[in-house]
Amino acid sequence: EAEEEIDFFFPKQQTLAIIKPDSMDEHREEILGEIRAGGFSISRLKETVLSRDTAEEFYREHRDKPFFSQLVDFMCSGPCMLLVLTKENAVEEWRSMMGPTDPGLAQVTAPGSLRARFALDILHNSLHGSSNQEHAQEKIHFLFGDIITSDRDLTSNGELDPTS
Ligand code: IDP
Protein backbone atom coordinates (compact mmCIF):
# COMPACT_ATOMS: atom_id res chain seq x y z
CA GLU A 1 0.00 0.00 0.00
CA ALA A 2 3.03 2.26 0.42
CA GLU A 3 3.45 1.91 -3.33
CA GLU A 4 -0.13 3.01 -3.95
CA GLU A 5 0.47 6.11 -1.89
CA ILE A 6 3.57 6.95 -3.87
CA ASP A 7 1.72 6.36 -7.14
CA PHE A 8 -0.99 8.70 -5.97
CA PHE A 9 1.45 11.53 -5.41
CA PHE A 10 3.83 10.63 -8.21
CA PRO A 11 1.81 9.07 -11.00
CA LYS A 12 4.82 8.88 -13.29
CA GLN A 13 6.30 5.48 -14.00
CA GLN A 14 9.90 4.37 -14.44
CA THR A 15 11.34 1.99 -16.94
CA LEU A 16 14.84 0.75 -17.60
CA ALA A 17 16.31 1.45 -21.02
CA ILE A 18 19.71 0.33 -22.28
CA ILE A 19 21.50 1.59 -25.36
CA LYS A 20 23.28 -1.62 -26.34
CA PRO A 21 26.89 -1.75 -27.58
CA ASP A 22 25.95 -1.83 -31.28
CA SER A 23 24.35 1.62 -31.11
CA MET A 24 26.75 3.41 -28.80
CA ASP A 25 29.15 4.80 -31.40
CA GLU A 26 26.85 6.00 -34.13
CA HIS A 27 23.36 6.38 -32.74
CA ARG A 28 23.62 7.26 -29.08
CA GLU A 29 23.08 11.01 -29.44
CA GLU A 30 20.15 10.60 -31.79
CA ILE A 31 18.55 8.05 -29.47
CA LEU A 32 18.98 10.35 -26.46
CA GLY A 33 17.42 13.14 -28.50
CA GLU A 34 14.44 10.95 -29.38
CA ILE A 35 14.02 9.97 -25.73
CA ARG A 36 13.81 13.63 -24.68
CA ALA A 37 11.58 14.53 -27.64
CA GLY A 38 9.30 11.67 -26.57
CA GLY A 39 8.70 13.42 -23.26
CA PHE A 40 10.73 11.09 -21.06
CA SER A 41 12.85 12.45 -18.24
CA ILE A 42 16.19 10.78 -17.78
CA SER A 43 16.28 10.09 -14.05
CA ARG A 44 19.48 8.07 -14.00
CA LEU A 45 22.17 7.56 -16.58
CA LYS A 46 25.29 5.46 -16.44
CA GLU A 47 27.76 4.49 -19.13
CA THR A 48 29.41 1.19 -18.33
CA VAL A 49 30.89 -2.00 -19.72
CA LEU A 50 28.85 -4.82 -18.21
CA SER A 51 30.78 -7.69 -16.66
CA ARG A 52 29.89 -11.19 -17.78
CA ASP A 53 28.38 -11.93 -14.39
CA THR A 54 26.21 -8.82 -14.54
CA ALA A 55 25.01 -9.56 -18.08
CA GLU A 56 24.25 -13.19 -17.20
CA GLU A 57 22.30 -12.16 -14.14
CA PHE A 58 20.51 -9.37 -15.98
CA TYR A 59 19.28 -11.77 -18.69
CA ARG A 60 18.85 -14.79 -16.41
CA GLU A 61 15.25 -15.27 -17.61
CA HIS A 62 16.78 -16.23 -20.98
CA ARG A 63 19.47 -18.60 -19.67
CA ASP A 64 17.89 -21.63 -21.35
CA LYS A 65 17.48 -19.97 -24.75
CA PRO A 66 19.80 -21.07 -27.56
CA PHE A 67 20.99 -17.48 -28.04
CA PHE A 68 21.89 -16.87 -24.37
CA SER A 69 25.69 -17.04 -24.66
CA GLN A 70 25.69 -14.89 -27.82
CA LEU A 71 23.50 -12.39 -26.03
CA VAL A 72 25.83 -12.22 -23.03
CA ASP A 73 28.92 -11.92 -25.29
CA PHE A 74 27.26 -9.10 -27.18
CA MET A 75 26.14 -7.19 -24.09
CA CYS A 76 29.73 -7.31 -22.71
CA SER A 77 31.39 -6.42 -26.02
CA GLY A 78 31.63 -2.69 -25.36
CA PRO A 79 30.10 0.15 -23.41
CA CYS A 80 26.36 0.32 -22.80
CA MET A 81 24.33 3.25 -21.59
CA LEU A 82 21.92 2.42 -18.77
CA LEU A 83 19.00 4.80 -18.37
CA VAL A 84 16.07 5.15 -16.04
CA LEU A 85 13.28 6.83 -17.98
CA THR A 86 10.43 8.55 -16.22
CA LYS A 87 7.07 9.37 -17.73
CA GLU A 88 3.44 8.44 -17.29
CA ASN A 89 3.03 4.95 -18.76
CA ALA A 90 6.79 4.82 -19.37
CA VAL A 91 7.07 1.02 -19.66
CA GLU A 92 4.60 0.70 -22.50
CA GLU A 93 5.60 3.93 -24.22
CA TRP A 94 9.28 3.02 -24.29
CA ARG A 95 8.50 -0.48 -25.66
CA SER A 96 6.43 1.16 -28.35
CA MET A 97 9.18 3.67 -29.24
CA MET A 98 11.72 0.83 -29.51
CA GLY A 99 9.53 -1.37 -31.69
CA PRO A 100 9.64 -5.17 -31.98
CA THR A 101 12.70 -7.26 -30.98
CA ASP A 102 13.47 -8.17 -34.60
CA PRO A 103 14.32 -5.11 -36.71
CA GLY A 104 13.22 -6.95 -39.85
CA LEU A 105 9.75 -7.18 -38.39
CA ALA A 106 10.04 -3.66 -36.99
CA GLN A 107 10.70 -2.26 -40.46
CA VAL A 108 7.42 -3.77 -41.62
CA THR A 109 5.15 -3.20 -38.62
CA ALA A 110 6.71 -0.12 -36.98
CA PRO A 111 8.91 1.62 -39.55
CA GLY A 112 9.35 4.76 -37.46
CA SER A 113 10.51 2.85 -34.38
CA LEU A 114 14.08 3.13 -33.10
CA ARG A 115 14.88 -0.53 -33.76
CA ALA A 116 13.54 -0.25 -37.31
CA ARG A 117 15.85 2.70 -37.84
CA PHE A 118 19.00 1.63 -36.00
CA ALA A 119 19.10 -2.10 -35.20
CA LEU A 120 21.27 -4.49 -37.19
CA ASP A 121 19.54 -7.82 -36.51
CA ILE A 122 17.49 -9.66 -33.89
CA LEU A 123 20.50 -10.00 -31.55
CA HIS A 124 22.19 -6.65 -32.19
CA ASN A 125 18.96 -4.76 -31.79
CA SER A 126 20.15 -1.46 -30.40
CA LEU A 127 18.03 -1.13 -27.28
CA HIS A 128 16.58 -2.76 -24.21
CA GLY A 129 13.34 -1.83 -22.50
CA SER A 130 11.63 -3.48 -19.54
CA SER A 131 8.58 -5.53 -20.43
CA ASN A 132 6.58 -4.67 -17.30
CA GLN A 133 6.74 -2.54 -14.14
CA GLU A 134 7.88 -5.35 -11.90
CA HIS A 135 10.83 -6.15 -14.16
CA ALA A 136 11.60 -2.46 -14.46
CA GLN A 137 11.88 -2.01 -10.69
CA GLU A 138 13.84 -5.23 -10.25
CA LYS A 139 16.37 -4.41 -12.97
CA ILE A 140 16.72 -0.77 -11.92
CA HIS A 141 17.49 -1.98 -8.42
CA PHE A 142 19.95 -4.52 -9.79
CA LEU A 143 21.85 -2.06 -11.98
CA PHE A 144 21.59 1.15 -9.98
CA GLY A 145 21.35 -0.22 -6.45
CA ASP A 146 18.29 1.70 -5.37
CA ILE A 147 14.66 1.81 -6.31
CA ILE A 148 13.58 5.23 -7.41
CA THR A 149 10.17 6.09 -6.08
CA SER A 150 9.78 9.63 -7.34
CA ASP A 151 11.32 12.07 -9.75
CA ARG A 152 12.08 14.61 -7.07
CA ASP A 153 15.78 14.16 -7.73
CA LEU A 154 15.45 15.65 -11.19
CA THR A 155 16.14 19.29 -11.85
CA SER A 156 13.21 21.27 -13.24
CA ASN A 157 14.22 20.73 -16.87
CA GLY A 158 14.41 16.97 -16.40
CA GLU A 159 18.19 16.84 -16.30
CA LEU A 160 20.13 14.81 -13.79
CA ASP A 161 20.58 16.48 -10.45
CA PRO A 162 24.37 16.60 -10.18
CA THR A 163 24.17 16.36 -6.40
CA SER A 164 22.22 13.09 -6.39
P1 IDP B 1 13.10 -7.75 -25.99
O2 IDP B 1 14.50 -7.20 -25.76
O3 IDP B 1 12.44 -7.13 -27.19
O4 IDP B 1 12.22 -7.70 -24.75
P5 IDP B 1 13.52 -10.61 -25.52
O6 IDP B 1 12.70 -11.70 -26.13
O7 IDP B 1 13.33 -10.34 -24.06
O8 IDP B 1 13.27 -9.30 -26.39
O9 IDP B 1 15.04 -10.97 -25.79
C10 IDP B 1 16.08 -10.31 -25.13
C11 IDP B 1 17.18 -10.00 -26.10
O12 IDP B 1 17.73 -11.22 -26.60
C13 IDP B 1 16.72 -9.27 -27.37
O14 IDP B 1 16.59 -7.87 -27.18
C15 IDP B 1 17.80 -9.63 -28.35
O16 IDP B 1 19.00 -8.86 -28.16
C17 IDP B 1 18.10 -11.09 -27.97
N18 IDP B 1 17.29 -12.03 -28.76
C19 IDP B 1 15.95 -12.27 -28.67
N20 IDP B 1 15.56 -13.22 -29.52
C21 IDP B 1 16.68 -13.63 -30.19
C22 IDP B 1 16.93 -14.61 -31.21
O23 IDP B 1 16.03 -15.31 -31.69
N24 IDP B 1 18.23 -14.70 -31.66
C25 IDP B 1 19.24 -13.95 -31.14
N26 IDP B 1 19.04 -13.03 -30.18
C27 IDP B 1 17.79 -12.86 -29.71
Residue 19: inside a domain, yes or no? yes
Q: Residue 132: is its pLDDT beyond 50? A: yes
95 annotated to a ligand binding site: yes
Q: Quick one: pLDDT at residue 8?
A: 58
Residue 66: inside a domain, yes or no? yes
Does ligand 1 come within 6 angstroms of the Cβ of 105?
Answer: no
90 CA to centre of ligand 1 in angstroms: 20
What's the domain count of the chain? 1
> Does ipTM come in above 0.85?
yes
57 CA to centre of ligand 1 in angstroms: 15
Count other Cβ atoms within 10 Å, centred on residue 45: 16
Domain span holding position 27: 2-144
Active site residues: 128
Residue 162: inside a domain, yes or no? no
Q: What is the arithmetic mean of pLDDT over 68-83?
A: 98
Residue 7: inside a domain, yes or no? yes
Residue 160: inside a domain, yes or no? no
Q: What is the arithmetic mean of pLDDT over 52-68?
A: 98
Residue 150: inside a domain, yes or no? no
9 annotated to a ligand binding site: no
Q: Quick one: pLDDT at residue 7?
A: 56
97-108 pLDDT, tens digit each? 999 999 999 999
Q: What is the CATH number of the domain that holds 110?
A: 3.30.70.141
DSSP state of 66: T
Residue 158: inside a domain, yes or no? no
Residue 97: inside a domain, yes or no? yes
